[in-house]
Amino acid sequence: MALIVQKYGGSSVADAGRLRLVAERVAKSRTGGTEVVVVVSAMGDSTDDLLDLAAQVTPLPPARETDMLLSAGERISSALLAMALDALGVPACSLTGAQAGIATTADHGRAQITGVAPERVRQALDAGLVPVVAGFQGRAHGGTEITTLGRGGSDTTAVALAAALEAELCEICTDVDGVYTADPRIVPDARRLDRIGYEPMRRLAAGGAQVLAAGSVAYAQRHRVPVRVRAAHGPGQGTLLCEDSGAPDGSVTGVTHHKAARITVAAPPGRGGAAGRILHAAAAAEGGFDIEVRQQDAGPGELSFVLHADHIPAVLAAIEDAGAGAPDPVRVHCDDRIGSVSVIGAAPSAGPGSVARCCSVLADAGVGIEAVTYLRPGVRVLCQDDHLCDAVRVLHSAFGLSAPAPAGA
């Protein structure tokens, strides 16, 4: 009997009406005897609402208690969806991540999945139930502590369950109908990809594409899990993530972007070890994004690194902790007006040629460049954030990624 795992994001289960639509979609998926396991995120903006509540209680909520708080959001979604399925005559049961056998590291707020023991999920399936699993969470391996998986954790939960259950397919059901060559909200003629390989998708996710979490792509790649990204509500086959995208070698897959920030840290003379401690703390808080380090000329011990804007608070807190107790505190400057745009999949053999092409195209469009990095394969450019959308559009056009115009247009 075929088995699929479906994951529904927060916008897909944002209210009672959408939960009922998801229940109808799940019920339809079970036709023909297909077994379905469902993974859900927290409803709408409930995770942000919970974080806001925590901030009202204390400016520095303990990591363990934050995980206990945030994990409640997905548990609410899973219980409500199980109720909606039951109302349709589809027997279902909700499960926490721990009950579903998701084992993790003990790193609160950014735990990594270390294994899955899906016996309880399998028992529910054998009993004719639809297991509805709370995503984004698990239990520290060998312990009893509840942990959360960080940004995109529900995607990783779904892929991990699909791997453990040897599912035929993992479907990531979201508010877009697949993976595009750029954000279609910025580039209206961006092209939806019918299929994409694991490695280019991982690079797109790391570069800012929000349709799939980078960690979930890496997990799918390690365990060879086929993943389909499709619309939660609506027709279409979406985009299949698999081993071979069928794209020619050296072709450009897409253009991604995200808001970034440059943090500059100046340690007083004689504090040579401060840089290492700060970078170690920042790397831990960053949660996996690339960090770019440059030694500055302005003074001894001064360095800067570029990171995703979403991680500014955690990294600044980590820097403060790293310099705590020192007689001469480090000086920190944060420039959050930086944009990062990446051309993913440029042929490695192009080397400096692909970098030169990006620079030339952006210069012609009046986009000032702050830094360029050759990614093998690909190019990342930093610019001022008010030029970010222009940079995405001109690079997308320059590399021929636009969808063809309709016949007769």
| C-alpha–C-alpha distance, residues 9 and 11, integer Å | 6
Q: Which residues are annotated as a binding site for ATP?
A: 7-10, 174-175, 180, 185
Query: Residues forming the annotated binding site?
Result: 7-10, 47, 74, 174-175, 180, 185
Which residues of the chain carry a pLDDT beneath 50?
Answer: 287-290, 296, 298, 348-349, 409
Q: Which CATH number among 3.40.1160.10, 3.40.1010.10, 1.10.760.10, 3.40.50.12500 corresponds to the domain 3-242?
A: 3.40.1160.10
Give residue-wise pLDDT tens across range 73-110.
999 999 999 999 999 999 999 999 999 999 999 999 98
What's the chain's Rg over C-alpha atoms?
23
Task: Measure the CA angle with vertex 210, ends 206 and 212; round to 5°.
Answer: 80
Residue numbering of the annotated binding site for substrate: 47, 74
What are the residue ranges spanned by the domains of the chain? 3-242, 254-398
Q: What is the pLDDT of residue 289?
A: 45
pLDDT value for 298: 47
CATH number of 254-398: 3.30.2130.10
pLDDT at 364: 93
CA distances from 301 to 76, 267, 304, 322 (A): 49, 5, 10, 15
Query: What is the model's pLDDT at position 83?
Result: 98
